[in-house]
Amino acid sequence: MKPLPNWDGLTFSLTETDWIYVARGDQRKSPVWDAGEWLPFGDVGCTPASPALSYGLGIFEGLKAHRTKDDRILLFRADRNAERFRNSAERITLAPFPVERFIEASVELVRRNARFVPPYGKGSFYLRPVEWASEARLGLGTVQGFTVAFYGSPVGPYFSAGSAPGLRLLVKEQGRVAPGGTGYAKAAGNYAGGILIADKAKKLGFTDVLYLDARHVKYVTETSGSNVFLVRRDGTLVTPPLDDQILPGVTRESTIHVAKHLGVNVEERALSIDEVIADGVGLFCTGTAYTLARVHEITYRDRPYVFPDDSVRSRLFDVVRGIQKGESPDPWGWTIEVPRA
């Protein structure tokens, strides 16, 4: 039994929990995936010749469960993460893990680690499914053997309280990912190169960076780990369309859905940095980890621009968070109630 964290001091960091799930896949077998096993949190073993280590053949997911006021636990949109996990696998030649198995393992992970789901209002339980090519191989090429592991951790806010009243983003005149590359997949390699870039920006006092597109270096795309939305002066919500450089965020999709339901005009289209500066009154990020995070300021070509209006983000956040925490009705069936252990 692992120790519980201090519920009043949760940040977005790892607390080891009691159970993890590990399944092994082999494309030469039928079925491809074994039944998997539940193990105490610990190392799972990896050959140094794994192409995940040399060539980045690894993917991951992030999804959350929340405790409700009446002490139930709700898992949010696991089906959408399951589908993205499969799509990400296909993009980088890993064996797709079945959607039903993903949902089952997610529910069971939360059920077994239920004592690590923070009390109502104290944070959430973040699930991190990962898959990697675990067969030894020296040269570049496809492999047949894979491992999937699911672990989770209680978490608090991704950004510290010091980021109030909102994030400060440094606009980088470069792409986050390559054109025609893996940007629409949740591939580990998409994140590796950005860590140094964000780290340098943080040392200058920024919370994160905002990337432009890699083809024209003109349109905004994503931060290090989230999608972005602009609230225009005329009240329209604009977010970049899904393409090779945009991750199909589950929070992005949920935000668009809720906004349309509330009668907000939503446009999924190319959004230039010039438009952000000229017509933007509000700006925010969306992601499982970032939630719907207000951006207070961006710096572009050494000039700061402030986004004073947080009203649209805050209205959308209340609805999404309300569904996640069981405080609002769930008209679209987005949550699964996790059975008691």
For residue 242, report the phi and psi dihedrals to the nearest 5 degrees.
Answer: -65, 125
Tokens of 66: 């929340």
**Binding letters toward ligand COI, positions 68-97, x by CB under 6 A:** ------------------------------
Sole binder of ligand COI in the list 212, 289, 292, 323 (CB under 6 A):
289
State whether residue 23 is helix, strand or coil: strand
Residue closer to ligand COI by CB (options 135, 151) is 151
What number of CA atoms fall less than 13 Å from residue 26's CA on the CB side?
Answer: 8
Region binding ligand COI by CB under 6 A among candidate stretches 28-36, 204-212, 284-292, 326-334: 284-292
For residue 218, report the phi and psi dihedrals to the nearest 5 degrees.
Answer: -140, -30
Tokens of 106: 């997610």
Region binding ligand COI by CB under 6 A among candidate stretches 233-241, 254-262, 286-294, 315-323: 286-294
Contact 309, 229 (CB under 8 A): no
Tokens of 32: 């491809």
In whole angstroms, what is the distance from residue 68 CA to residue 31 CA? Answer: 38
| Nearest approach, Cβ of residue 154 and ligand COI (Å) | 14
**Binding letters toward ligand COI, positions 28-67, x by CB under 6 A:** ----------------------------------x-----
The helix (run of H) or strand (run of E) holding residue 267 is strand 266-268
Sole binder of ligand COI in the list 50, 239, 288, 299 (CB under 6 A):
288
Active-site entry in 64, 172, 186, 325: 186
Asked if 129 is part of the footprint of ligand COI (rule: CB under 6 A), the reply reads no
| Nearest approach, Cβ of residue 253 and ligand COI (Å) | 13
**Binding letters toward ligand COI, positions 212-241, x by CB under 6 A:** -------------x----------------
Q: Identify the CA nearest to 176 among candidates 127, 131, 213, 216.
A: 213
186 catalytically annotated: yes
| Beta-ladder partners of 210 | 171, 223
Contact 46, 71 (CB under 8 A): no
Active-site annotation, residues = 186
Query: Under the rule (CB under 6 A), what is the footprint of ligand COI?
Result: 62, 225, 287-290
